[in-house]
Amino acid sequence: MRSRRKLKRDIDVGTAELIVDVAEQIIEDKGIEGFRLQDIADAIGIQFPSLYTHFKGKKEILSSIIDRAIKTLAQDFIDTDGDSPVALLKKGVNRQVIYFASNIAQVRLLLLDFTTVEGLPEFNRVAGKPGTLEQEGGTLRPMILRLEKILRDGQQQGLFKATDATVFFHTMLGTILVRLALTRPFPNAKSDPKAFGKLVTAMQNQIEDLAIAAVKRGI
């Protein structure tokens, strides 16, 4: 993944956030191919040209959606309770499952980026060149350093084998995204909270098991 760049334009946060929210819902309902700016304007109840007051166009809106995912991932693996390495890993992957299960549009965009040579242009716009997000100065670097400490502590306690933090992060994130993308139809958290909760809990248990098995084996 890549180091984040700030969007070039100052925008009205309230309306801009609403536009991005609606765009995410459209992508969740219709897919990336079905995403149209006119649908956003109709849903919000504004004139189509008004969208350009806040964004240059479709690509900038997609970049803002991806930026949300990057900011969220940057907050992973924070130890606030003095938990064990095992508990911290479980909390980290569980947080990713619940977040991305609640934001399917981001799942679709991230998977498209992963499968695009040189990365998705909309991703590159906010994140830079492939492979730099986790490097020195990258948005995800502090998170990777926290993860490295967790893995190192687990190894010192005899719980884990030597594991590369970046490889672990990519493996778990990729697994979560693919599992969510392949779950169809995906229950909506608002319209069917019971089914959503059941699916997320089952997936969290599965991802927890995979994560702990990976660090016990070493990757």
Listed by start position, the domains of the chain span 8-56, 69-217
- Which is more confidently placed, 105 or 9? 105
* Distance separating alpha carbons of residues 47 and 39, to the nearest angstrom: 11
For residue 15, name the pLDDT band (cuts at 50, 70, 90). Answer: confident
pLDDT tops 50 at residue 174: yes
Highest mean pLDDT among 76-80, 136-140, 154-158: 154-158
Mean pLDDT of 134-147: 88
| Same fold for the pair 8-56 and 69-217 | no
Whether residue 217 contacts residue 161, with contact meaning beta carbons closer than 8 Å, is answered with: yes
Q: What is the DSSP letter of 79?
A: -
Cβ atoms 68, 127 nearer than 8 A: no
Instruction: Say if residues 214 and 168 touch (Cβ distance below 8 Å).
Output: yes
- Closest Cα partner for 43 from 29, 57, 33? 29
Q: Which two tokens stand for residue 207?
A: 């991802």
CATH architecture for the domain at 69-217: Orthogonal Bundle (1.10)
For position 7, what pLDDT does the model report? Answer: 37
Across the range 7-35, mean pLDDT stands at: 79
Res. 126 pLDDT band, cuts 50 70 90: low
pLDDT (mean) for 114-130: 64
Instruction: Tell me what the pLDDT averaged over the chain comes to.
Output: 87
Is the alpha carbon torsion for 47, 49, 55, 60 positive or negative?
positive
Q: What does the pLDDT read at residue 212?
A: 97
Band of residue 137 on the pLDDT scale cut at 50, 70, 90: confident
- The predicted structure's pLDDT at residue 119: 64
How much is the pLDDT for 190? 81
CA atoms of 36 and 86, how far apart (whole Å)? 44
- The per-residue pLDDT for range 198-208, each reduced to its tens digit, is 999 999 999 99
Q: Say yes or no to pLDDT of 9 above 80.
A: no
Q: Which residue type occupies 56?
A: K
Fold of 8-56: Arc Repressor Mutant, subunit A (1.10.10)
pLDDT, position 159: 97
Residue 16 CB partners (closer than 8 Å, separation 6+): 54, 55, 64
For residue 132, name the pLDDT band (cuts at 50, 70, 90). Answer: low
The larger pLDDT score, comparing residue 87 to residue 191, is at: 87
